[in-house]
Structure 1
Amino acid sequence: MVSSASTASLLLPLPSCSSSEESDDGKPLPPLTAQEASSPPPSQLKRRRGRLERDYNVAMKALALSGDVDEVLAVFAELRRSLADAGDGGAAPNVLCYNTLVNALAEAGRTEEALRALDEMLASGVAPNASSHNILIKMHARRSEFDLAWELIHKSEMEPDAATYSTLIAGLCRVGKVAEAWGVLDWMLEKNCLPMVHTYTPIVQAYCREGRIEEAKLLMVEMERLGCLPNVVTYNVLIRALCDSGRFDEVEQILVDSRTKDWNPSTVTYNIYMNGLCKKGKTKEALEQLDVMLGEGMDPTAYTLSILLNCLCHDSRLLDAIYLLERSTELKWHAGVVAYNTVMSRLCEMGKWMSILKLLTDMIKKGIEPNTRTFNILIHSLCVVGKFSLAKSLIQSEGFAADVVTYNTLLHWSYHCGKLTGANRLISAMEEKNIALDEVTYTIIIDGLCREGKFDAATGYFLKSLKIGLSMDVLTVLLNRLACADRIWEIHRIFDEKDFIPDHLVFNLTIRTLCRASYCHYRDFYKLNLILDKMLERK
């Protein structure tokens, strides 16, 4: 919820200002003279301040576009310090800088921080403008607080602009309120505010999301008639919906028509198309689109590579996937560790550990640093082919930070090979390295101990696992093992434990497990009664 200070101040009469005023950042400022720099009068201090704010705002916008919101916060804090050091009385940054900060936080979903920044702006005496107004409306719309958004619009003396209406329409479409979005559009037209492509695109997207592709296409035709031409984003939305429906002939026609219309397919367009083809098993056609992209002079992105590698791996075309990795430098893709992990993971599933080692070597030669997942894939593949000792030695490798997945893999194969002492050492190593045991770890340990007949120890580990919360999967494994081994008293022990608080799901699971283990037969029925009595006592 927006603080009263934020809402109240944004409802006060404000200077009329278009939401596009932030383009002022790009206006060049004249350089300072030597005299101005040595002893600047107030007017020159203002110019220096303007230049400083402009430069910092440009940097903040670039960081926000890259998604590095923490760096945006750091640069904003540095701007405040720089303004204080400039001898300007410690004045706050201007509204443009605050808008960039608030918008970056809002886009990252850090709404509470955005609202605090807005409150700070108001407390510093910085008057909000049209962009501030629209950012706050966007935050309301994204949180489905449409009543607050309407209230803000109606009470404000600032005339809503196209961005304001488009923001509301986007928010309504996001939650499926397409009829209400059309109502906002009608209201917008009544106010003689011309819609823009960003106004219509959310409605097109809502139609596509609901499978109403024909209505989306008709709306795009209407946009053209009104002179509000769909852009590449609008077409990407439609192409994604057509791909999901397997209507690839229509996608091809749209791409052909783009040559005569006022839009050009982008890398994102082809990524969507290739991803849609791959999902439908059309690997050959997806690879053909790669050639089309290259022919159009477009550089494939890391996501393009990821799409194609996933597609080839799914079809078990590992040689083609490896060849694509080898071509990545030539194609200026700069394949990273994620791309290599994709191929290595599929090689692991196919038991080709030597190919994994070769790819790992190629990665290192190219200066690509393996991550924990890379080593986990290699460790798992070595365990599968029986090279357990070599797999275990890898956790000592320099630069490899083993995680819980690493130890879970090694624990599973330790128990599988009957190496209880080795498993105990691994558990001790986890404790020494402060790697917390998770649900999978406890499941592996309990199952392994039960297979070795160590039922007391297995039950003890189950009781330890309660510290991270009751897991029905862990309980299922233990109950199955105990019931099949006729360890009725171990089940009693579980129900006697004060930290174990059973509910009806636990009761149902226990009864089903015991019945499947033949405890319903006449000679064993008394054991089932014992458990039922214990359950009733706990209830």
Structure 2
Amino acid sequence: MASSASVAALTALPFPTCPSSDDSDDAKPLPPPPASGETRPPPQHQQRPRWWQLERDCNVAMKALARAGEVDQVLALFRELRASRTGPGGASPPNVLCYNTLVNALAEAGRVEEAHNAFDEMLAAGVAPNASSLNILVKLHSWRSARFDLAYKVIIQLQELGVEAEVGTYSTLVTGLCRVGRVGEAWGVLEWMLEVGCRPMVQTYTPIVQGYCREGRVDEAKELMSTMENAGCPPNVVTYNILIRALCDAARFDEVRQVLTDSRTKDWKPSTVTYNTFMNGLCKKGMAKEVLEQLDVMLGEGLDPTDFTLSILLNCLCHDKRIHDAVCLLERSTSLKCYAGVVAYNTVMSCLGEMGHWMSALKLLTDMIKRGVMPNTRTFNIVIRSLCFRRKFSIAKSLASNQGFAANVVTYNTLIYFVFYYSRKLSEVKDLIFDMTAERIAPDEVTYTIIVDGLCRDGFFDTATSYFLESLEIGLSRDLFAVLTNRLAHSGKIWETIHIFKGMEEKGFIPDSSIFDLTIRIFCRAGYCHDTDMFKVNFILDTMLGKQ
């Protein structure tokens, strides 16, 4: 925490006036002196050289390419600009703005060494850096490489070149330190700012507040915010949102309510993000009633809910099994000026399916299509699962074969599982596997596990073993191996277990000690460690020693 002397000094310091925008820091070359007999035109009538406009246009294009992530194109354009800068006096380098754009693009892409090289080239070319150059380098070392020693070094280096650090420079450094948990060192930077006469701003303090909150030091964060107020630098809505999130994580909801009440007499106003944060915290604790109350407060403040607001509310209501309220909220979404998209409908339909309301799920599917919300694969999978829970297999399979639905492996896993464990018709399972193949949907580990376990349960051990060996084409799954071996062990299938080892070898998977260890453990848990059955375990051990 800052000392009282620091706080006192803070209140007396003026705000810094050094410029930070690129345009204000443009390093423009001086015009040549007039020749003998010439009269210099008034400054307002002097025309800038053509290359100045070329630099400006190139800089705009480089920034656009950098925003699009086309860093190599930025480099290419910069090289073209540099190559075009030739005149009677020889080549002249691009200006500081172009170099700043290049260095920043490389820094944002994580190309640290190239960014350094570009900056060194700028200095070697005689182009004087400005405050923006310093801020870019400090951000590079503080946020990208976390080399704070180099960040301090570059501040001192550019200070010797006449470029003073500004409040944005120090704030960037503080943010980087707090990101990696070095909050104490961030306080040292604040002290440094005060010593050089640079007054911190709210963006300087807020990362420290966030750092405290990340570490669970909420009371210290609150104390710092009080210090900010006393120093004439009151926290803003971003700072309060950070505090509210931390209070919600600690379930200190009464304090959140007090913070919101105090906002009426302080210089900040809660935003939609503020209420979303509070409602999300209440939702995680299952406090659905309080969540709806805060929605009313938010609407009373004239704030419009967002899609995230709707998501929070629906998740909370569905978790609390208040499905009727969730459906009503979906219907109200238009009047609330928020868009109920496919994710919102999926949330409610999933809850309806879990509660066994398959008819309501189908109705909601129809309603969303009527409203112009296009269902996705997850939507259909949710409805298919709810139908399967109610054993409506024919409707579920009909929906899966609908031309407007792109079934995936999850779809077929759901159908195969419920047919195996409820309908118990092997012919239907084979039809589903055939349909998967026809649709070019590759089975995954879950598919093989369902099939192998279902076949073993129905006594088709040879077929189950064949499917396991087929599954090796997508890699060895120890979980699937454990499922099959466990079924074999409880059915006394020793020879089949040995056959699995041989089949694995033929597929290129040599059973190692972990596979044999797993097998022995399974057989022992199945009761084969008694005297009468011990020879079976020894048989497996002999096989293992033979493979070794």
TM-score by length of 1: 0.80
> 2:254 is matched with which residue: 249, 252, 268?
249
Cα separation, 2, equivalents of 1:19 and 1:418: 76
Q: How does 1:127-138 map to 2 (within 5 A)?
A: 130-131=131-132, 133-138=134-139
The residue aligned with 1:362 is 367
Asked whether the equivalents of residues 404 and 438 of structure 1 are also in contact (C-alpha less than 8 Å), the reply is yes
CA shift, 1:381, in A, is: 1.0
Q: Structure 1 residues 255 and 527, CA, compared in 2 at 3 Å: closer, same or farther?
A: same
Task: Name the CA distance, whole Å, in 1 between partners of 2:460 and 2:49.
Answer: 83
1:464 is aligned, of 461, 465, 470, to 470
Closer, same or farther: CA 24–306 of 1 in aligned 2, 3 Å: farther
Identify the residue that residue 456 of structure 2 maps to in structure 1: 450
Shift of 1:341: 0.6
Q: Which residue of 1 aligns with 2:275?
A: 270
Residue 525 of structure 1 aligns with which residue?
534
The superposition leaves residues 381-423 of structure 1 with CA deviations (integer Å, 9 ceiling, x where unpaired) of: 1111112122122233334222221121122123222333333
C-alpha separation between the residues in 2 aligned to 1:185 and 1:319?
Answer: 53
Range 512-521 or range 490-499, more displaced:
490-499
Letter matched to residue 435 of structure 1: I
Is residue 490 of structure 2 the alignment partner of residue 491 of structure 1?
no
Q: Provide closer, same or farther for how the CA distance between residues 265 and 474 of structure 1 changes in structure 2, counting only shifts above 3 A.
A: same
Whether the 8 Å CA contact 1:278–1:286 is kept in 2: the answer is yes
Structure 2 vs 1, CA of residues 424 and 294 (structure 1 numbering), >3 Å: closer, same or farther?
same
Measured after TM superposition, the shift of residue 308 of structure 1 is 0.6
How much does 1:224 deviate? 1.5
* Counterpart for residue 430 of structure 1: 436
Name the aligned partner's letter for residue 540 of structure 2: I
Q: What SS class does the counterpart of residue 482 from structure 2 fall into? A: helix
Specify the alignment match of 1:20 in structure 2: 20
SS of residue paired to 2:247: helix
Q: Is the 8 A contact 1:76 1:101 kept in 2?
A: no
1:373 aligns with 2:374: no
Secondary structure of 2:349 counterpart: helix
Distance 1:195 1:136, change over 3 A: same
Contact 1:415 1:448 (C-alpha < 8 Å) held by counterparts: yes
Change (3 A) 1:286 1:19: farther
CA shift at 1:166, angstroms?
2.5
Q: 397, 405, 408: which is aligned to 2:410?
A: 405
Deviates more, 1:210-219 or 1:161-170: 161-170
The answer to whether residue 369 in structure 2 is matched with residue 391 in structure 1 is no
| Mapping of residues 89-108 of structure 1, within 5 Å | 94=98, 98=102, 101=105, 106=108
Matches of 1:425 and 1:179, distance apart in 2: 66
Tell me the residue number matched to 1:202.
207
Distance 2:18 2:456 in 1: 71
Match of 1:164 among 155, 162, 169: 169
Per-residue deviation, residues 332-390 of structure 1 (Å, max 9, x unmatched): 10111111111111111111111111111111111111111101101111111112122
Q: Which residue of 2 aligns with 1:294?
A: 299
More displaced stretch, 94-103 vs 248-257: 94-103
Select between 332-341 and 457-466 the one with higher mean Cα deviation. Answer: 457-466
Residue aligning to 2:35: none
Amino acid at match of 2:110: T
CA contact (8 A) 2:103 2:115 kept: no
Matched, 1:475 2:481: yes
SS at match of 1:211: coil
Q: Is contact 1:213–1:238 with CA below 8 Å preserved after alignment?
A: yes
Cα gap change, 1:45/1:146 in structure 2, threshold over 3 Å: closer, same or farther?
closer
Mind listing any 5+ residue stretches in structure 2 that lack a counterpart?
A: 1-16, 26-46, 87-93
Alignment length, in residue pairs? 491
CA contact (8 A) 2:202 2:233 kept: yes
Q: Which is further off, 457-466 or 120-129? A: 120-129
Residues 23 and 524 (structure 1 numbering): CA distance in 2 closer, same or farther, change over 3 Å? farther
C-alpha distance in 2 between matches for 1:380 and 1:332:
32
Match of 2:425 among 415, 419, 425: 419
* Structure 1: distance between partners of 2:431 and 2:375: 26
Q: Tell me the distance in 2 between the aligned counterparts of 1:120 and 1:424.
A: 64
Q: Deviation digits for residues 461-492 of structure 1, max 9, x if unmatched?
A: 32333344433321221121111121112222
1:349 corresponds to which residue? 354
Residue identity in the other structure for 1:459: T
Q: Is the 8 A contact 1:462 1:474 kept in 2?
A: yes
2:283–2:291 CA contact under 8 A, matched in 1: yes
Q: Say if 1:121 and 1:388 are closer, same or farther in 2 by CA, change over 3 A.
A: farther
Pair 1:276–1:470, CA change in 2 (3 A) = same
Unmatched 5+ stretches in structure 1:
1-16, 26-40, 65-71
Q: Distance in 2 between matches of 1:421 and 1:119?
A: 68
Correspondences of 1:3-152 after superposition (within 5 Å): 20-22=20-22, 43=49, 46-47=52-53, 50=56, 54=60, 72-73=68-69, 94=98, 98=102, 101=105, 106=108, 111-112=110-111, 130-131=131-132, 133-142=134-143, 143-152=145-154
The equivalent position to 2:543 in structure 1, one of 515, 519, 534, is 534
1:174 aligns with 2:173: no
TM-score by length of 2: 0.78
Q: Kindly provide the amino acid, as one letter, of the partner of residue 206 in structure 1.
A: G
Select 2:329's aligned residue among 324, 346, 355. 324
Query: What is the Cα-based RMSD across aligned positions, in Å?
Result: 3.7
* Structure 1 position 48, deviation (Å): 7.7
- Contact 1:18/1:131 (<8 A) preserved: no
**In structure 2, how many angstroms separate the alpha carbons of the residues matched to 1:423 and 1:367?**
35
SS state at 1:246 partner = coil
Whole-angstrom distance in 1 between the partners of 2:496 and 2:153: 63
Secondary structure of 1:409's counterpart equals helix
Matching of residue 238 in structure 1 with residue 237 in structure 2: no
1: CA distance, partners of 2:471 / 2:296:
53
Amino acid paired to 1:525: M
Is the CA contact 2:71–2:106 (under 8 Å) kept in the aligned structure 1? no
Once the 2 structures are TM-superposed, how far is the Cα of residue 319 of structure 1 from its aligned partner? 0.7
Identify if the C-alpha distance between structure 1 residues 79 and 317 changes in structure 2 by more than 3 Å, giving closer, same or farther.
farther
* Aligned equivalents of 2:327, 2:317: Cα separation in 1: 10
Q: Secondary structure at the match of 2:20?
A: helix
